[in-house]
Amino acid sequence: MLRAALRPFSTASRQSLRIGLIPADGIGREVIPAAKEAIIALGSDIPKPEFVDLIAGWECFTRTGVALPEETVDALKNDCDCALFGSVSSPSRRVVGYSSPIVALRKEMDLYANIRPVMSVYPSQKPSIDLIVVRENTECLYVKQETQQQGEHGREARATRLITERASRRIGQMAFELAHARPRKHLTIIHKSNVLSVTDGLFRETVRGVPLLPEVNGKYNDVEIAEQLVDSAVYRLFREPEVFDVMVAPNLYGDILSDAAAALVGSLGLIPSVNAGDNFVMGEPVHGSAPDIAGKGIANPLASIRSAALMLRRLGYIKGADRLDLAVDQVIREGEILTPDLHGKSTTQEVLAAVLKNL
């Protein structure tokens, strides 16, 4: 799975691989330890893993008043080669002093690309789905600049949406690189510039201009470029997902599209992602903290294990990443040991054991 999803930014020889572990909230505390066990099981296919336990999240905030401790950021910057993040239980209401730690981490570590592959594994799933959502990770509405005031007709709330040429160019280059490495070499730019002509217009124009950059020097001339308005993209995603290969989108659209795409392949519990920058990578399963099942031992660990594979692939450890992906594929195809989100009856630990057996 995902053989050409990511190209490594580092193939440096390491004696050890220091991995920051941030389980955060809810089922993150169950699935990140499972991913850790899968990484350990790779043995000599990766440098000896050393794990750095770190904290962040809503529960961290309720205990300490801080959702993302400075110690966690410092450890990632100074002591870790990469990281795995679990899930966060950000409240839907406004809480004074609280801000999502994963959003903050992406900015602190300059992890400007959230890369979310979606692939069907069940033989019965037709048409075969094999796409990647490339989501800009640092701006759009997620800059979290919101205000509220009393207006003539009651309270008024406003949010600033930021789209910059620099961020759009960086995510565009990442998306073109991914599309160039895949067999179809097809990239769809997602936007709503027919309404948001200034912000989405800048995103669209900048991404389309990436192949013309002097430093690119014609490298992406083989990539076919398409465009899709975000609302019709959701429609086509459900009606004819086979038309998509690599999709690149501003932050909010990418978040929604990748969650929607997960429904096509069975469960959010299968969808991995990495938050990638030029010098650091952090794996993160797409699912949330799932408070309704947290602590019950039935959370699906496969998205976290796949996220670990994506992280390793980004670091250049292709053999280890392939082994993890193939082991997960086999568990899904056999269909005997699956968690309830995939209509199974197995526990988190039973699914992990099946993956380890396949390794």
Q: pLDDT tens digit string along 154-209?
A: 999 988 999 999 999 999 999 999 999 999 999 999 999 999 999 999 999 999 99
Among 11-20, 95-104, 111-120, whose mean pLDDT is lowest? Answer: 11-20
Residue 147: pLDDT above 90? no
Contact 82, 280 (CB under 8 A): yes
Same domain, 86 and 143: no
**Across-strand partners of 189?**
227, 248
Residue 305: pLDDT above 70? yes
- Domain hosting 341: range is 1-111+273-359
* Interior angle at CA 237, CA 143 and CA 327, nearest 5: 90
Per-chain mean pLDDT for the chain: 91
* Assigned token pair, 79: 């002591």
Same domain, 66 and 176: no
Q: Is residue 278 assigned to a domain?
A: yes
pLDDT for 67: 95
Structurally, the chain folds into a number of domains equal to 2
Most confident stretch, 2-16, 19-33, 127-141, 331-345:
19-33
Stated pTM of the model: 0.90
* Assigned token pair, 282: 């952090």
Q: What is the mean pLDDT of residues 263-287?
A: 90
Q: What is the pLDDT of residues 213-238, one digit of tens each?
A: 999 989 999 999 999 999 999 999 98
Local structure of 15: helix, strand or coil: coil
pLDDT category of residue 94 using cuts at 50, 70 and 90: confident
Same domain, 54 and 167: no
For residues 187 and 72, give the distance between their C-alpha atoms in angstroms, rounded to a whole number: 36
Give 359: exposed, middle or buried? Use CB within 10 Å, 0-12, 13-18, 19+.
middle
pLDDT for 7: 56
Cα Rg for the chain, rounded, in angstroms? 20
Nearest to 230 by CA among 204, 211, 209: 204
Q: Is residue 277 assigned to a domain?
A: yes
Q: Is residue 40 assigned to a domain?
A: yes
Same domain, 157 and 223: yes
Contact 180, 223 (CB under 8 A): yes
Same domain, 158 and 290: no
Same domain, 353 and 329: yes
Q: Is residue 116 assigned to a domain?
A: no
Q: What is the CATH number of the domain that holds 260?
A: 3.40.718.10
pLDDT for 8: 60
Q: Is residue 84 assigned to a domain?
A: yes
pLDDT for 269: 85
Task: Show which of 237, 265, 293 is a domain's final residue.
Answer: 265
DSSP letter, residue 47:
P
Q: Is residue 26 assigned to a domain?
A: yes
Same domain, 260 and 346: no
Same domain, 149 and 261: yes
Contact 207, 189 (CB under 8 A): yes
**Across-strand partners of 283?**
84, 274
Type of residue at 188: T
Catalytic annotation, residues: 142, 192, 231, 255, 259
* Interior angle at CA 281, CA 107 and CA 229, nearest 5: 65
**Across-strand partners of 162?**
140
Q: DSSP letter string over 296-331? A: TT----HHHHHHHHHHHHHHT-HHHHHHHHHHHHHH
**Across-strand partners of 16?**
48
Q: Is residue 244 assigned to a domain?
A: yes
Task: Show which of 265, 298, 333 is a domain's final residue.
Answer: 265
Same domain, 197 and 277: no
Same domain, 151 and 254: yes
- Name residues whose C-beta falls within 8 Å of residue 28's C-beta, 6 or more positions apart in sequence: 22, 57, 85, 86, 87, 88, 289
Same domain, 134 and 178: yes
Q: Is residue 104 assigned to a domain?
A: yes
Task: Show which of 209, 241, 265 is a domain's final residue.
Answer: 265
Phi, psi of 313 (to 5 degrees): -65, -40
Residue 145: pLDDT above 50? yes
Same domain, 243 and 294: no
